[in-house]
């Protein structure tokens, strides 16, 4: 079954209510009125009613058709209200006619069952109770004003005719309800398939948008329109030093594998720290903190610095992995972080827009990244004020940033204070001829002797080397 086209569904404007299609609803009402008309016709033939009641028989047949035609405009605009009014009017007429048949127990019971079945098929439970009430009130009124209507006993022929038509009514109604159930089942299957198809498409499209932005759109927090706002953000840029030289030496397929591996690891780290990935530019990554969600500028800046340190640590692992793959080029990461007010939101056209940030603070973050050395994290003085409590930083003087009239004071992030000094649980050394990465928090107890043996051996060789 195609997931793009749904079968015809029952007419309804209330998602919690299911009705018969309009044509089938008319047929069910008409059949109910035909039962009353046929019973009255049998009464005329058995002389229970006078001949002038034939006008009522004709009216009972014509009324449902006429009321359906006359209420069509209202049914389009107010389907539920119009349906309820029609059912209540039917109930009042049924109540009067039932009294006119003399209230004989058997015949009355058959006609009441028929009327109630019509209310249930055509309406809701709330409408059913209202219809029964109106039918009782109308019957009581007819009994009060025309007591002579119940002084006679109808012929058995009327009961037989009523019973026969009631049986036909039940069969037709059951058929319509079965067809409605099948249609609903088919519709439900089609909707489920289409929903699953939309979910698959959504999952694919989500990969082109930052998870935070995607979630705010689907939660209704943000509308997809051209609008921006001013916010204080923490902006991060990074690139790979030596990647240009590597791209000139490697085949595109192998180069693509390496860059995708790099982006995969860095994206995971970014998401774990709550950053919003703006875009990938060649081998560069642009990330910002503070929108669409923020923990406050200080925590956003600290999260960004911790992200950068973890990226640098991960880059060490990637270099070792790439060396095992035969890549001898020294690939290093350079990073720059700045904090300040930026314009953030949707830019572009109504048909194609991009959720991004612009402003001089963004440009400064990019300039810091360009000025950073291998595996260096440079931050602006504004960022330093927010992270100095948790990060050890050393002044790097001032740089002349393109587009800025005055020199910019910068700092280098050495590491987190908790990881530095004698109490540090992490050691990372990567020099020509020797590299070591030690994280005591992740070290397994049974590996310690193996590591100590290797360190003692390395110490012996280093001491004895010329």
Q: What is the pLDDT of residues 235-288, one digit of tens each?
A: 999 999 988 888 888 888 888 889 999 999 999 999 999 999 999 998 999 999
pLDDT value, residue 83: 84
pLDDT value, residue 60: 92
Whole-number Cα distances in Å, 81 to 27, 75, 77, 329, 392:
20, 8, 9, 76, 71
pLDDT value, residue 410: 95
Query: Which of 97-101, 215-219, 257-261 has the weakest average pLDDT?
Result: 215-219
- Give the CATH architecture of domain 232-424: 2-Layer Sandwich (3.30)
**What is the sign, positive or negative, of the torsion defined by CA atoms of 74, 75, 78, 82?**
positive
Confidence bin at 369 (pLDDT 50/70/90): very high
pLDDT value, residue 272: 94
Task: Taking residues 433-448, report their average pLDDT.
Answer: 72
pLDDT value, residue 402: 86
Place of tokens 């929108």: 291
| Tens-digit pLDDT profile for residues 52-83 | 899 999 999 999 999 889 988 888 888 888 88
Closest CA to 331 of 238, 267, 427, 434: 238
Confidence bin at 332 (pLDDT 50/70/90): very high
Domain residue spans in the chain? 22-196, 232-424
pLDDT value, residue 41: 92
> Residue 234: is its pLDDT beyond 90?
yes
Confidence bin at 15 (pLDDT 50/70/90): very low
Q: How long, in residues, is the chain?
A: 466
> Residue 423: is its pLDDT beyond 70?
no
CA distance 460 to 466: 12
Closest CA to 372 of 315, 329, 317, 411: 411
Exposed/middle/buried for 170, CB within 10 Å: 0-12, 13-18, 19+?
A: middle
Confidence bin at 376 (pLDDT 50/70/90): very high
Confidence bin at 176 (pLDDT 50/70/90): confident
Whole-number Cα distances in Å, 207 to 318, 347, 400:
23, 19, 37
> Residue 19: is its pLDDT beyond 60?
no
Exposure b/e, 51-73, CB count within 10 A at least 16 = b? eeeeebbeebbebbeebbeebee
283: CB partners within 8 A, 6+ apart: 239, 240, 243, 259, 262
Place of tokens 């002349």: 400
Q: Say if residues 269 and 303 touch (Cβ distance below 8 Å).
A: no
CA distance 243 to 255: 9
Global confidence as pTM: 0.58
Whole-number Cα distances in Å, 79 to 109, 123, 124, 295, 350:
31, 11, 13, 49, 36
The two tokens of residue 389 are 């409590």
> Residue 422: is its pLDDT beyond 70?
no
What's the whole-number average pLDDT of the chain?
85
Q: CB count, 10 Å around CB of 351?
A: 5
């Amino acid at each position: 079954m195609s997931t793009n086209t749904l079968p015809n569904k029952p007419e309804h404007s209330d998602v919690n209510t299911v009705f018969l299609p309009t044509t089938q609803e008319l047929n069910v009402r008409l059949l109910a009125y035909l039962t009353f008309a046929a019973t009255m016709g049998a009464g005329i033939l058995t002389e229970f009613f006078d001949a002038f009641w034939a006008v009522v028989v004709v009216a009972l047949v014509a009324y449902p058709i006429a009321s359906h035609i006359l209420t069509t405009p209202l049914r389009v605009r107010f389907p539920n209200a119009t349906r309820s009014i029609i059912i209540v009017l039917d109930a009042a007429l049924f109540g009067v006619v039932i009294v006119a048949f003399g209230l004989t127990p058997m015949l009355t019971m058959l006609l009441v069952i028929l009327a109630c079945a019509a209310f249930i098929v055509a309406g809701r439970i709330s409408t059913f109770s209202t219809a029964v009430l109106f039918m009782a009130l109308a019957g009581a009124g007819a009994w009060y004003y025309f007591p002579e209507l119940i002084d006679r006993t109808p012929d058995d022929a009327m009961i037989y005719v009523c019973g026969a038509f009631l049986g036909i009514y039940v069969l037709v109604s059951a058929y319509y309800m079965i067809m409605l159930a099948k249609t609903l089942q088919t519709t439900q299957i089609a909707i489920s398939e289409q929903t699953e198809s939309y979910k698959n498409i959504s999952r694919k499209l989500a990969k082109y948008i930052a998870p935070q932005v995607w979630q705010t759109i689907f939660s209704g927090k943000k509308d997809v329109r051209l609008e921006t706002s001013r916010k204080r953000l923490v902006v991060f840029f990074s690139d790979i030093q030596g990647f240009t030289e590597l791209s000139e030496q490697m085949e595109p397929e192998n180069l693509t594998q390496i860059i995708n591996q790099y982006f995969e690891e860095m994206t995971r780290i970014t998401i774990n720290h709550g950053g919003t990935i703006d875009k990938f530019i060649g081998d560069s990554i642009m990330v910002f903190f503070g929108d669409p969600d923020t923990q406050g500028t200080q925590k956003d800046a600290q999260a960004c610095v911790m992200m950068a340190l973890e990226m640098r640590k991960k880059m060490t692992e990637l270099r070792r992995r790439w060396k095992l793959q035969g890549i001898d080029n020294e690939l290093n990461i350079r990073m720059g972080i700045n904090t300040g007010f930026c314009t953030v939101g949707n830019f572009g056209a109504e048909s194609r827009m991009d959720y991004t940030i612009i402003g001089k603070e963004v440009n400064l973050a990019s300039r810091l990244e360009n000025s950073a050395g291998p595996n260096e994290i440079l931050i602006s003085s504004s960022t330093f004020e927010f992270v100095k409590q948790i990060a050890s930083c050393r002044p790097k003087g001032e740089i002349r940033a393109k587009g800025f009239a005055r020199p910019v004071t910068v700092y280098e992030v050495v590491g987190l204070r908790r990881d530095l000094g004698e109490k540090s649980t992490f050691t990372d050394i990567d020099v020509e001829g020797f590299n070591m990465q030690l994280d005591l928090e992740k070290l397994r107890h049974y590996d310690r002797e193996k590591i100590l043996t290797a360190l003692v051996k390395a110490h012996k060789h280093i001491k004895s080397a010329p």
